[in-house]
């Protein structure tokens, strides 16, 4: 099977297995675990932030950030298609008790006029202050689009003018940095805190990094304990994370190249199958709403019959994600499968 459902299906590399076996371990919530500390130091330095915290998932990283910014309540400003708004079980509202305010977005970039309008530096007659503004890069729901650095800078400018923090859901921020041709720290300079996933294209078996100021990370550590994320001999997992940060970032460019080939192959078949431009990261949105069979679930099934796994994303589209286990020949196979299904 050619598994294009997600980059989260990636298995640990042999170097990760070796590092996991050799990791020196401690109790991370007692005296500390040296491997976790090494990962956190590396994560902080890659993100250009003071400090970092190893957490079990991207969702937990985003939740801890929400809890940190929510100490005085208020509103969370998110784009209407944000993963934090749509796919994290409502933790922003249900656990952090922030009122979510959504801003329309296009290809992952919020409408800046609307954003400027909804930001509240303090209490107003009708609402509480904005506790945080969230950006997402790369943007999952829009098909892996990479918000420009100019956009990130403008969001930060608007927020900081109002004294409001910006959190980046950077589950795939390394993909964004590679795609933009910049260091992660250049991108993360436009936010106060950032979540980075190790378990997606970077191939680690689990874990994310939350990075920010010393004070922010100290708070997040306490909130991690509160939500049951205090870890013990977590160095086993952190060891794979160190390998991920040290050796798995540059190869993301291969995933991007293959995703662009997939986009081009589909565009050559029928321009309505894809977005007008490729995302330049590792996700391709297959649009089936203009096809004879317009149901994404039916396409999921048909693709499986042709040896390709993909996931429906809404009623008329599927998400195809390239990653370390996808080769050039797999991309050609997937294009061919889609051509055959259209002809059936």
Ligand X SMILES: Cc1ncc(COP(=O)(O)O)c(C=O)c1O
User: Which residue has its beta carbon closest to ligand X?
Assistant: 58
Rounded Cα gap, residues 209 and 204, in angstroms: 12
| Segment interacting with ligand X (CB under 6 A) among 55-63, 99-107, 216-224, 283-291 | 55-63
Nearer to ligand X, 252 or 337 (CB): 252
Three-state DSSP at 283 gives strand
CA-CA distance, 218 to 344, in Å (whole number)?
58
35 belongs to the binding site for ligand X (CB under 6 A)? no
Q: Does 265 bind ligand X (CB under 6 A)?
A: no
Interface residue with ligand X among 10, 59, 142, 291 (CB under 6 A) is 59
* Separation of alpha carbons 342 and 285, rounded Å: 16
Q: How far apart are CA 317 and CA 320, in angstroms?
A: 10
Contact yes or no for 184/147 (Cβ under 8 A) = no
Cis omega (within 30 of 0) on the bond before 305?
Answer: no
DSSP per-residue letters across 98-158: PEEEEE-EETTEE-HHHHHHH--SS--SS-PPEEEEEEESSBTTTTSB---HHHHHHHHHH
Of residues 203-232, those binding ligand X (CB under 6 A): 208
For position 58 contacting ligand X by CB under 6 A, the verdict is yes
> Is the CB of 35 or the CB of 57 nearer to ligand X?
57
Q: 199 or 203, CB closer to ligand X?
A: 199
Q: How many residues bind ligand X (CB under 6 A)?
A: 11
Q: Please list the residues that pair with 145 across neighbouring strands.
A: 139
- Can residue 281 be called a binding residue for ligand X (CB under 6 A)? no
Looking at residues 71 to 90 of the shown chain, list those that interact with ligand X (rule: CB under 6 A). 83
Q: Dihedral of the CA atoms 29, 13, 318, 277 (nearest 10)?
A: 100
Q: How far is the CB of 81 from ligand X (least distance, A)?
A: 10
**165 with 69: CB under 8 angstroms?**
yes
- Told to check if 260 binds ligand X by CB under 6 A, we report no
Smallest separation (angstroms) from ligand X to the CB of 102: 16
Which range binds ligand X by CB under 6 A, 57-65, 104-112, 157-165, 261-269? 57-65
Query: CA-CA distance, 235 to 111, in Å (whole number)?
Result: 42
**57 is a site residue for ligand X (CB under 6 A):** yes
Contact 63/95 with Cβ under 8 angstroms? yes
* Near ligand X in 114-153, by CB under 6 A: 136, 140
For residue 287, what are the β-bridge partners?
317
Query: Measured between alpha carbons, how far is 160 from 218 in angstroms, rounded to an integer?
Result: 22
Nearer to ligand X, 56 or 239 (CB): 56
196 binds ligand X (CB under 6 A): no
Distance CA(111)–CA(153), nearest Å, equals 14
Q: Which is nearer to ligand X, 140 or 282 (CB)?
A: 140
Provide the minimum distance between the beta carbon of 199 and ligand X in the complex, in angstroms, as a whole number.
6
Residues within window 163-182 making contact with ligand X, judged by CB under 6 A: 169, 171
Residue 105 binds ligand X (CB under 6 A)? no
Tell me: does residue 320 bind ligand X (CB under 6 A): no
Would you tell me which residues interact with ligand X (CB under 6 A)? 57-59, 83, 136, 140, 169, 171, 197, 199, 208
């Amino acid at each position: 099977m050619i598994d294009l459902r997600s980059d989260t299906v990636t298995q640990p590399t042999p170097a990760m297995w070796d590092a996991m076996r050799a990791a020196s371990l401690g109790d991370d919530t007692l005296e500390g675990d040296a491997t976790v500390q090494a990962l956190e130091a590396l994560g902080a330095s890659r993100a250009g932030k003071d400090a970092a915290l190893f957490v079990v998932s991207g969702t937990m990283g985003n939740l801890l950030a929400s809890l940190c910014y929510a100490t005085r309540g208020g509103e969370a400003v998110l784009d209407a298609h944000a993963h934090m708004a749509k796919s994290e079980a409502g933790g922003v509202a249900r656990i952090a008790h922030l009122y979510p305010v959504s801003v329309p977005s296009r290809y992952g970039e919020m409408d800046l006029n609307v954003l400027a309008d909804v930001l509240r530096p303090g209490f107003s007659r009708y609402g509480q202050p904005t506790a945080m503004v969230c950006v997402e890069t790369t943007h999952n729901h829009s098909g892996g689009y990479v918000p420009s650095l100019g956009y990130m800078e403008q969001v930060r400018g608007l927020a900081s003018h109002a004294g409001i923090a910006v959190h980046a859901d950077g589950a795939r921020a390394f993909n964004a940095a590679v795609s933009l041709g910049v260091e992660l720290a250049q991108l993360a300079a436009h936010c106060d805190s950032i979540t980075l996933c190790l378990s997606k294209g970077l191939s680690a078996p689990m874990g994310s990094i939350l990075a920010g100021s010393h004070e922010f990370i100290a708070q997040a550590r306490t909130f991690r304990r509160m939500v049951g994320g205090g870890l013990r001999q977590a160095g086993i997992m952190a060891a794979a994370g160190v390998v991920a940060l040290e050796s798995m970032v540059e190869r993301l460019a291969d995933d991007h190249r293959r995703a662009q080939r997939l986009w081009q192959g589909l565009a050559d078949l029928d321009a309505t199958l894809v977005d007008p431009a490729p995302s330049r990261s590792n996700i391709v949105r297959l649009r089936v709403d203009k096809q004879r069979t317009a149901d994404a679930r039916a396409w999921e099934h048909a693709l499986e019959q042709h040896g390709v796994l993909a996931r429906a994303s809404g009623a008329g589209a599927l998400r195809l994600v390239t990653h370390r286990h996808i080769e050039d020949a797999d991309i050609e196979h997937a294009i061919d499968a889609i051509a055959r299904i259209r002809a059936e």
